[in-house]
Amino acid sequence: MSIPTGRFAPTPSGRLHLGNILCAMLAYLSARSRGGRFLLRIEDVDIPRCPRRLARQCIDDLSWLGFTWDETPLYQSERTDIYRKYLDHLTADGHTYPCFCTRAQLMSLAAPNLGDTQVVYQRTCANLSPAEAAQRALTRAPAIRLRVPDEEVSFTDGLFGLQQENLARDCGDFILQRSDGLFGYQLAVVVDDALSGVSEVVRGRDILSATPRQMYLQHLLHFPVPQYLHIPLLVDAQGRRLAKRDKDLDLSALAQLFTPAEILGMLAYSAGLLPAVHPATLEQLIPLFDWAKVKTDDLRLPALDSL
């Protein structure tokens, strides 16, 4: 059997947040507690939103917290030729089509929302003739969508159990490349996880509903399916969802107040790995790690001012 390979794949559009660090910690402990490899991938595929300065800051913050990784971190912004190659495969096999819809059109045609932010595409451009598409491309650069079948995809999440989704009904034809040329998250993640040999994907529960789309891409591209473990949301001591705008919960503020071991200790406590809040390094947490201790309810932080 090959060595378990986990990864953390942050989007550096801001400073690392406690929720990101929790995810990194669980991904790391899960891999390392089984003698596995751990990789870091910077998901800056949306290049304008993710300046290199923030990516470097993210790497420095992870090092400060004590994380180590086994290969040089990948930057998605440097891998666009690779994504293009896989997109070309999908297009050559007839799985894609150009979509000329504007954002305003998409919103006005949207079917009732399914999932948090997901809108099922109504296939307005799915059956354009090649001549029509070529004509439209003269005035508007298209996005490229993946045609999905009316099929169920199911998988067993390591924490949330059996998940099932009908691709056509629940997610619709989704974007692989945006009209501005940037590649979509789904394609980049699938290609990178497969080419890096990732066998275990630990990430936030907010991405759970994207997994069937990614599995369909894996199927089309003949990639193996990793084990998925989506982790519950981290909420504050009052049970409120943490938001990126809570600046006091990102590392720029926390690093002034707490040591790395204090930050990891409170997250490990929230995740059920420690019976009480006390400082703990990653090395100290490795032998304590067990997925059976992590519950699927929201993970509640201790009150930060009481520490």
Please say which residue, 146 or 277, places its beta carbon nearer to ligand GLU: 146
b/e per residue 40-78 (b: at least 16 CB within 10 A) = bbbbbbbbeebeeebbebbbebbeebbbebeeebbbbbe
Nearest distance in Å: CB 117, ligand GLU: 13
Please say which residue, 78 or 132, places its beta carbon nearer to ligand GLU: 78
Nearest distance in Å: CB 264, ligand GLU: 19
Nearest distance in Å: CB 154, ligand GLU: 19
Please say which residue, 12 or 98, places its beta carbon nearer to ligand GLU: 12
248 HSE (CA, 13 A, CB side): 4
Nearest distance in Å: CB 211, ligand GLU: 9
Q: Decide: 176 and 187 in contact? Cβ < 8 Å.
A: yes
Please say which residue, 43 or 170, places its beta carbon nearer to ligand GLU: 43
Residue 239 has which token pair? 């049970």
Chain residues binding ligand GLU by CB under 6 A are 9-11, 43, 189, 203, 207
Please say which residue, 189 or 282, places its beta carbon nearer to ligand GLU: 189
Nearest distance in Å: CB 157, ligand GLU: 13
b/e per residue 87-106 (b: at least 16 CB within 10 A) = beebbeeebbbbbbbeeeee
Instruction: Identify the three-state secondary structure at position 101.
Output: coil
Residue 14 has which token pair? 């801001």
Question: How many other C-beta atoms lie within 10 A of the C-beta of residue 164?
Answer: 10
